[in-house]
Chains A and B, each alone.
Chain A
Amino acid sequence: MRLITAVVKPHRLDEVKEALRSAGVRGLTVTEASGYGRQRGHTEVYRGAEYTIDLVPKVRIEVLVEDDDAEQVIEAIVKAARTGKIGDGKVWSVPVDTAVRVRTGERGPDAV
């Protein structure tokens, strides 16, 4: 099993969700997140006082998948999240030892 984490622009969330549904993913977790990458925040002005806002809003999407599905799911996320402009985000995956479905106690790939 692998845990795929994607940090993307908030307004791409609906597209990413739709792409994941099409790719057969049955569950995901979304968190509001803040961060910066190469785009480094933005500037806001309040009555002439300028503020640099380093951390910009992002959404963090986490999906647990079986090993064989990982590449396809990553591709689906990347395609759906891309706008081509700086600040589109990042996707990565890590191996997962254990997964348990809380309701039934199923373990491993059955729990995905």
Chain B
Amino acid sequence: MNGADTAFVLISAALVMLMTPGLAFFYGGMVRVKSALNMLMMSFISLGIVSVLWVLYGYSLAFGEDSGAGLVGGLDHLGLAGIDAGTLTGGRTGIPVFAFALFQLMFAVITPALMSGALADRVKFSAWSLFITLWVTVVYFPVAHWVWQPDGWLYQLKVIDFAGGTAVHINAGVGGLAAVLVVGARVGFKKDPMRPHSLPLVMLGAGLLWFGWFGFNAGSALAADGTAATMALNTQVATAAAMLGWLGYERVRHGAFTTLGAASGAVAGLVAITPSGAAVNALGALVIGVAAGTACSWAVSLKYRLGFDDSLDVVGVHLVGGVIGTLLVGVLAVDGVGGAAQLGRQAAGAFAVMAYSFTVSWLLARFIDRVIGFRAAEDDEISGVDQAFHAEAAYDFSAVGGVAQSRAHVPALAPGASGAGGAPGAGGAPGAAIRSKGEKDEKNEKGTTGKKVDV
């Protein structure tokens, strides 16, 4: 056993764990006040559910002995059977399987959580929990096996996916899209204002993701070596370049350097550099970053044109960023690997994951919708899913919202009946209205020529 490698992988596991709360903040800040807690919980619950499934059967399905054709692992390691503290895997002189399993568990946790951004504000919490339970079981565990288990069919095909461009980001992006197509758009999509309620939370989340991503990417080397160092450097370079790319595009197109753009660009860069590993050098990482930042900045507008309510742009950032990163590795890989043949292999890998994940995710979402109903009741959606499913409010506006009373003192009080904090901000920002480009200055012109109004 190599102590340095083991220490590095264990620390990386903890870094990747922190990405899921980071993602929760990143998404949580982007929704309106009335569903902020639900958004945080959609990520957080994945830490609970997937960790349990991983021990029971997830590790075995993903990394157990291949059960044939490289499609899925066998059931030899149910309950982590046959593995103990002395069992080693990979690396130069090996690291404990437990360290590897813990590290990989964190990937399995964050991948379904990534999809939650597509479904913001409008799904039942129970249905979401069931969805990710089934999704990791029939989509993530097998796809992780394809990509990372040495017998997996995409691994055999020599598709380069160092840390999860296909298995994590394309997989989640497409899965989120399929679920959105089943669940439908939020009430008021394209009409009502849906401003992020806290950009500082988004920045905090993006910062935690960026930090944790060093574990995600460099840790995937499974050794404290030159590959890990190259990957850590590439991660920083691509992320920085992508942030600049997004901001530049945005400045030209919309006239401002936005905070949300900086955070989104950074995440797009992190997504895009994920598959490359040490296969590209720092200049390649720079190209990948700029390409991802600008392309994703453009791609997030597609949902308005195509009419699917991918609320927090899981498709625009994770799917598009994942595809760009996965394909560019084929072109930019150094040491004679890059070229048309590798590009073809990368495309095949990306397409295989897209086709499988989309089909199965759509069927799962339909199944859940049929059996228990995926979507929240319209009333609950409008008044806010925080109250409906969590019986809580994210912020206490108690000065005018009423004083909270304990149920112990008021036995008849139903959850939510105290009126504390539920209503403020429920409809998004007062007096704000969404509009598309083109009608831009109509209102301002009316304002200056129209009737004089108070204030």
Partners in one complex: yes
Q: Which A positions have Cβ atoms within 8 angstroms of B?
A: 7, 34-41, 43-55, 58, 89-90
Is there an interface contact between A38 and B448, defined as CB atoms closer than 8 Å? yes
Q: A37-B454, A39-B447 are in contact. Are A49 and B304 (CB under 8 A)?
A: yes
Q: Which B positions have Cβ atoms within 8 angstroms of A?
A: 193, 195-196, 250, 253-256, 258, 260-261, 264, 297, 300-301, 304, 313, 429-437, 440, 443-444, 446-448, 452-455
Chain A residues whose CB sits within 8 angstroms of the CB of B264 once the complex forms: 47
What CA separation (Å) do A28 and B6 show in the bound complex?
66
What CA separation (Å) do A54 and B435 show in the bound complex?
12
What CA separation (Å) do A37 and B429 show in the bound complex?
18
Chain B residues whose CB sits within 8 angstroms of the CB of A34 once the complex forms: 430-431
Is there an interface contact between B253 and A46, defined as CB atoms closer than 8 Å? no
Is there an interface contact between B431 and A41, defined as CB atoms closer than 8 Å? yes
Of the candidates B261, B301, B431, which one forms a contact with A53 in the assembled complex, judged by CB atoms under 8 Å apart? Answer: B431
Is there an interface contact between B455 and A58, defined as CB atoms closer than 8 Å? yes
Q: A50-B437, A50-B440, A52-B435 are in contact. Are A45 and B256 (CB under 8 A)?
A: yes
Of the candidates B193, B300, B453, B455, which one forms a contact with A48 in the assembled complex, judged by CB atoms under 8 Å apart? Answer: B300
The prevalent SS among residues of A at the interface is: strand
Of the A-B pairs whose beta carbons lie under 8 Å apart in the complex, a sample of 21, sorted by A's number, is A36-B431, A36-B447, A37-B455, A38-B452, A43-B440, A45-B256, A46-B258, A46-B260, A48-B300, A50-B254, A50-B434, A50-B435, A51-B193, A51-B435, A52-B433, A53-B429, A53-B432, A54-B431, A54-B443, A55-B430, A90-B454
Q: A40-B447, A52-B432, A53-B431 are in contact. Are A46 and B455 (CB under 8 A)?
A: no
* Identity of the chain B residue whose Cβ is nearest the Cβ of A90 in the assembled complex: B455
Q: A35-B454, A58-B455, A89-B455 are in contact. Are A51 and B434 (CB under 8 A)?
A: yes
Chain A residues whose CB sits within 8 angstroms of the CB of B301 once the complex forms: 47-49
Chain A residues whose CB sits within 8 angstroms of the CB of B448 once the complex forms: 38, 40
What CA separation (Å) do A90 and B453 show in the bound complex?
11
Is there an interface contact between B455 and A35, defined as CB atoms closer than 8 Å? yes
Chain B residues whose CB sits within 8 angstroms of the CB of A58 once the complex forms: 455
What CA separation (Å) do A89 and B455 show in the bound complex?
5
* Identity of the chain B residue whose Cβ is nearest the Cβ of A42 in the assembled complex: B444
Is there an interface contact between A46 and B432, defined as CB atoms closer than 8 Å? no
Is there an interface contact between A52 and B443, defined as CB atoms closer than 8 Å? yes
Is there an interface contact between A48 and B297, defined as CB atoms closer than 8 Å? yes
What CA separation (Å) do A36 and B455 show in the bound complex?
6
Of the candidates A7, A36, A45, A52, which one forms a contact with B258 in the assembled complex, judged by CB atoms under 8 Å apart? Answer: A45
**Chain A nearest CB, measured from B210 CB (Å):** 18
Is there an interface contact between B304 and A51, defined as CB atoms closer than 8 Å? no
Chain B residues whose CB sits within 8 angstroms of the CB of A53 once the complex forms: 429, 431-432
Q: A36-B455, A58-B455 are in contact. Are A51 and B433 (CB under 8 A)?
A: yes
What CA separation (Å) do A49 and B195 show in the bound complex?
9
What CA separation (Å) do A34 and B455 show in the bound complex?
9
> Which of A44, A48, A50, A90 gathers most chain B CB within 10 Å?
A48
Of the candidates A36, A45, A49, which one forms a contact with B453 in the assembled complex, judged by CB atoms under 8 Å apart? Answer: A36
What CA separation (Å) do A7 and B254 show in the bound complex?
32
Chain A residues whose CB sits within 8 angstroms of the CB of B429 once the complex forms: 51, 53
Chain A residues whose CB sits within 8 angstroms of the CB of B431 once the complex forms: 34, 36, 41, 53-55
Chain A residues whose CB sits within 8 angstroms of the CB of B253 once the complex forms: 48
Which 6 pairs between the two chains have the least Cβ-Cβ distance? A40-B447, A55-B431, A35-B455, A54-B431, A37-B455, A45-B254
**Chain B nearest CB, measured from A6 CB (Å):** 10
**Chain A nearest CB, measured from B28 CB (Å):** 15
What CA separation (Å) do A48 and B252 show in the bound complex?
11
Is there an interface contact between B254 and A48, defined as CB atoms closer than 8 Å? yes
Chain A residues whose CB sits within 8 angstroms of the CB of B300 once the complex forms: 47-48
> Which of A35, A47, A49 gathers most chain B CB within 10 Å?
A47
**Chain A nearest CB, measured from B450 CB (Å):** 9
Chain A residues whose CB sits within 8 angstroms of the CB of B434 once the complex forms: 49-51
* Identity of the chain B residue whose Cβ is nearest the Cβ of A43 in the assembled complex: B440
**Chain B nearest CB, measured from A44 CB (Å):** 7
Chain A residues whose CB sits within 8 angstroms of the CB of B304 once the complex forms: 49
> Which of B430, B436, B447 gathers most chain A CB within 10 Å?
B447
> Which of B255, B431, B433, B444 gathers most chain A CB within 10 Å?
B431
What CA separation (Å) do A7 and B301 show in the bound complex?
38
Is there an interface contact between B432 and A54, defined as CB atoms closer than 8 Å? yes
What CA separation (Å) do A21 and B62 show in the bound complex?
72
**Chain A nearest CB, measured from B429 CB (Å):** 7
* Identity of the chain B residue whose Cβ is nearest the Cβ of A48 in the assembled complex: B301
Chain A residues whose CB sits within 8 angstroms of the CB of B455 once the complex forms: 7, 35-37, 58, 89-90
